[in-house]
Amino acid sequence: MLVSVLAAGLLLAPAPAAAPPRPLREVLRVEPGATCLTASGLAETIATWLGRDTIDVPVAYIDVRGDPTRAQSVTIALEIRGELVERKFDPVRPTCSDLHAVVGLGIAIAVDAAVLEGLGYEVIDPGEESVPQAYDPERPPLTRRSRKGEPSEAPPRRASVSVVAAVRSGLWLGVLPGLAGGGGAQLELGWRRWVDLRASLFGGYAGPRALDADTRVTLGLVGGRVDVCAALARPRVRPRLCFGPAAGALQIGARTPGVRDAVGPWVALTVAPELRIWAAKRFAVDLAVELIVPVVRPVPAERDPSKAGMIGDSLAVPPVGAMVSLGAAFTIR
């Protein structure tokens, strides 16, 4: 009798209430990298595909990671009932709206599959003896890794460092007296496409200059510089602002017999607004306007023969110069 009463009580007891769905934006995490993906835009696209803006409990989180060096490569990861489902998308030159649509559709399909599995529908994973399916490089198959028994946590983040080499040449205005030409080579280390550390070597030549009617000199400058650059990550165009110190040697070569050559130290501060335009995956075109503010520099001059220790004619050098250059950049990694 007692057993019958207990059984009836268990049958009549109300079932535990299911946990309510969570807002989509609470489980969606977006790290755009070099893509144009945004959390708000992707949430709206997923909600459009799903027909709702909530996510059922079996989905713990949705993680979207863009490649820091590729504007079209995206990886999505969903944790569903203790298992991690990942998929990588690499469409060829998509527009921003197309990329949101492709990634949003992939997430919506994975979420719907999780809901169907929770309702009792069988989800068939291909086994070793199954018939191979056609491989589409732009839509690789879902891969599933068991996470049962492990704490629920996001995939580890990897700091992405890019290495870029570049060469440039252009016109120098006021860096040396008058108009000069020069160029250089540089190596950059970039972190997540937002911050760059750059080291470069440069050189310029101004050609012959007249101190007076009888004295002509040639001017050349060689040196190196270190810059820190702050950039804006865009799919094809990358503006940035660089600043740092530069140091080198100014060589004054005499063209007149009896006048000696001279070499003097040259130190300056540089500020450079630049624009990098990616023409291909690993090739870009650089446009730069660099402002040069000399701190230490020799003045090309000759001594006054009529007055001992006095300076005669000299070449005027502006207090601020500029380098306008065009170059090419190559991504090493």
The residue ranges of the chain whose pLDDT is under 50 are: 2-3, 5-7, 9-11, 13, 15-16, 124-139, 141, 146-152, 154-155, 158-159, 310
Taking only the tens place, the pLDDT of each residue in 166-189 is 999 999 998 888 889 999 999 999
Percent of the chain as helix, strand, coil, to the nearest 5? 15, 50, 35
Which DSSP string do the residues of 170-208 spell out, in sequence order?
EEEESSSSSEEEEEEEEEEEEETTTEEEEEEEEEEEEEE
The answer to whether 45 and 38 have CB atoms below 8 angstroms apart is: no
Contacts of 320 (CB under 8 A, 6+ apart): 174, 291, 292, 293
Beta bridge mates, 144: 85
- What angle do the packed helices 96-118 and 39-50 form, to 10 degrees? 50
Q: Is 50 helix (H, G, I), strand (E, B) or coil?
A: helix
What is the structure's pLDDT at 208? Answer: 81
pTM of the predicted protein model:
0.50
What is the structure's pLDDT at 293? Answer: 94
| Residue 291 vs residues 93, 197, 266, 294, 333: alpha-carbon distances, Å | 35, 18, 15, 10, 30
